[in-house]
């Protein structure tokens, strides 16, 4: 079916949402905009979907929400009445129509006889993951587009362990969603009718209290917090998102009382009017927190993204100015403190394991090795970390201690099965407090790690490719690198890994070897000196991401090595894209 046929199907639908019809009427003179809204069905991947809000099959709207939820309902129904009765937990963040989409999802489920538990107010992604487990629900839905621009929203699906779906259930869900032929015809009953029938339930305080109680287990040195918790000066911003309530309460419960909230960024706002960026990975997201930090003399600045699963940390550098830590730097500080504290208390398990993604800094592995903790690599995406935790529990083979990815996602205690900014913020505050009681800043603590393990530096370059043409450009670029590999003057290539084929080529032995991870459109190149480059299209944004990593004995030599690595790779990228 052509995009024009789908467009005509929508405008001829008698009961089409009035606002969508008005928008389509406005777009009628813009063929390019119409084509982009209808040229494909909004892709439902292994974890859900994300896209711009608006009318059309390639947009987030009540009809694409109904289509996705209908697929999930079919998956649950196939498993029988017991799973239908367990129900589905649903949460949402501050984005446009998030609550509306949550209710629409609940209405689809209820119409098919499946219970839904919807949060009364917005709550962060990790709390949704927790709720699935606490309620013993069969699945979960989170309405969020994380840190994407305001015009986006999304739909993420969780399994009964509180983790995003992987494996057979993920594949089955994808098939069932794609089997929904007409998103406009998915039946839904009225909200009031479903509430009366006990199929639509609202949750709130009880879930907050249960989650808050579990958060206290993240604290590793209660004596430290009791003695000195009020001494740490914290500035916190939720960047208009869903993390304010749970994090402010958990700070208080843990013993941190000297907290300054960035008020102009505290209230939920779908337009993010008070922030320069809603992504804590962007240093500009900290602009107001930094100004406030200077006013109150803060030791540490904490920013959570809108759905509260990622956290950024800033602290004063040796120059006395606030500097945002990278995700890798924060991860190194957290895991080193965690391992050190457990070892000091003789609580470091012999079978301990730390999990990181293939684009995370090797510094984490170096730290883990020094404590005798196994470091394990998985594909990018926290669902793969959660999958390993589930495997460890089933086999009783290892004890999970820490999981993280370079993009500001961390998990300490597995009562949540997704990255948890609330947990990570609590532990980061504890780490900062520890260093303060030692007469050091957080940055001095980081430099101690570099002096001990070497200077591991990483950076990321992202290239935006929007629309249909952008997808084609990213695809052709990846294929060009597969054909011509990577050549960097001054660096010797040791290993080329192609996760799409599941094969790696050793340039030293001239032999091919398998990659023991699921297939994914990722290319990674490792040099003989430990430097590395990785290319992957983002799974959530229209971006091609290039990751660079180096390490050396000094800061200056590592920085110089990074410069020498980046320039020729970007030049090769430009040449390949021009062919």
Q: For residue 522, which of 540, 511, 537, 533 has the smallest C-alpha distance? A: 537
Sign, Cα dihedral of 430, 431, 436, 437: positive
Q: Dihedral of the CA atoms 158, 163, 169, 173 (nearest 10)? A: 30
403 within 8 A of 275, measured Cβ to Cβ: no
Does residue 267 sit in helix, strand or coil? coil
The pairing of strands 116-119 and 88-92 is: parallel
List 91, 98, 129, 146, catalytic entry: 146
What is the rounded CA–CA span in Å between residue 537 and residue 543? 6
Q: What are the backbone angles phi and psi of residue 531, rounded to the nearest 5°?
A: -70, 155
Does residue 438 sit in helix, strand or coil? coil
What is the rounded CA–CA span in Å between residue 378 and residue 500? 14
Q: Which residues does 30 contact at the CB level (< 8 Å), separation at least 6? A: none
Q: For residue 60, which of 120, 185, 145 has the smallest C-alpha distance? A: 145
Known catalytic residue at 146 = yes
Give 432's Cβ-side CA count (13 Å radius): 26
433 exposed, middle or buried (CB, 10 Å; 0-12, 13-18, 19+)?
buried
Count of all residues that appear for the chain in the document: 579
Point out the residues that are catalytic.
146
């Amino acid at each position: 079916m052509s995009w024009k046929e789908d467009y005509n199907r929508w405008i001829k639908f008698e009961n089409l949402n009035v606002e969508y019809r008005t928008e389509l009427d406005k777009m009628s003179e813009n063929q390019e905009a119409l084509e982009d809204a209808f040229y494909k069905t909004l892709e439902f991947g292994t974890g859900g979907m994300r896209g711009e809000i608006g009318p059309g099959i390639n947009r987030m709207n009540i009809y694409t929400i109904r289509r996705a939820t209908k697929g999930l309902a079919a998956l649950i129904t196939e498993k029988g009445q017991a799973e239908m009765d367990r129900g589905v937990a649903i949460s949402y963040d501050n984005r446009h129509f998030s609550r509306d989409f949550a209710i629409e999802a609940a209405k689809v489920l209820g119409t098919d006889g499946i219970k839904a538990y919807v949060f009364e107010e917005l709550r962060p992604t990790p709390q949704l993951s927790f709720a699935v487990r606490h309620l013993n629900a069969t699945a979960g839905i989170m309405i969020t587009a994380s840190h994407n621009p305001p015009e986006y929203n999304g739909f993420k699906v969780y399994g009964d362990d509180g983790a995003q779906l992987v494996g057979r259930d993920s594949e089955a869900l994808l098939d069932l969603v794609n089997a929904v032929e007409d998103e406009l015809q998915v039946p839904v009953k009225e909200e009031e009718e479903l509430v009366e029938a006990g199929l639509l339930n609202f949750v709130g305080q009880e879930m907050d209290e249960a989650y808050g109680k579990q958060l206290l287990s993240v604290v590793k040195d209660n004596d430290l917090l009791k003695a000195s918790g009020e001494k740490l000066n914290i500035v916190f911003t939720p960047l208009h998102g869903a993390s304010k309530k749970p994090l402010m309460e958990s700070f208080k419960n843990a013993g941190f009382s000297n907290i300054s909230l960035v008020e102009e960024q505290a209230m939920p706002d779908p337009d993010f009017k008070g922030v320069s960026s809603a992504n804590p990975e962007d240093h500009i997201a900290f602009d107001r927190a930094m100004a406030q930090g200077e006013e109150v003399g803060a030791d540490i600045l904490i920013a959570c993204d809108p759905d509260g699963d990622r956290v950024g940390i800033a602290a004063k550098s040796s120059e006395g100015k606030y500097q945002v830590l990278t995700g890798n730097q924060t991860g190194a500080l957290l895991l080193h403190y965690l391992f050190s504290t457990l070892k000091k208390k003789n609580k470091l398990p012999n079978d301990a394991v730390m999990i990181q993604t293939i684009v995370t800094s090797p510094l984490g592995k170096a730290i883990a090795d020094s404590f005798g903790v196994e470091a394990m690599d998985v594909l990018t995406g926290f669902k793969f970390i959660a999958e390993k935790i589930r495997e460890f529990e089933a086999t009783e083979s290892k004890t999970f201690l820490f999981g993280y990815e370079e993009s500001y996602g961390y998990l300490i205690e597995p009562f949540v099965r997704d990255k948890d900014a609330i947990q990570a913020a609590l532990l980061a505050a504890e780490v900062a407090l520890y260093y303060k009681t030692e007469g050091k800043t957080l940055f001095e603590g980081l430099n101690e790690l570099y002096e001990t393990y070497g200077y591991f530096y990483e950076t990321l370059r992202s290239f935006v490719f929007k629309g249909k043409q952008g997808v084609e450009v990213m695809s052709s670029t990846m294929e060009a690198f597969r054909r011509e590999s990577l050549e960097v003057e001054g660096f010797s290539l040791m290993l080329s890994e192609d996760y799409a084929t599941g094969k790696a080529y050793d340039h030293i032995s001239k032999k091919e070897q398998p990659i023991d991870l699921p297939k994914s459109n990722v290319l990674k190149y490792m040099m003989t000196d430990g430097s590395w480059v990785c290319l992957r299209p983002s799974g959530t944004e229209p971006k091609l991401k290039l990751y660079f990593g180096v390490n050396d004995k000094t800061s200056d030599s590592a920085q110089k090595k990074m410069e020498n690595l980046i320039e020729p790779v970007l030049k090769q990228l430009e040449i390949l894209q021009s062919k």
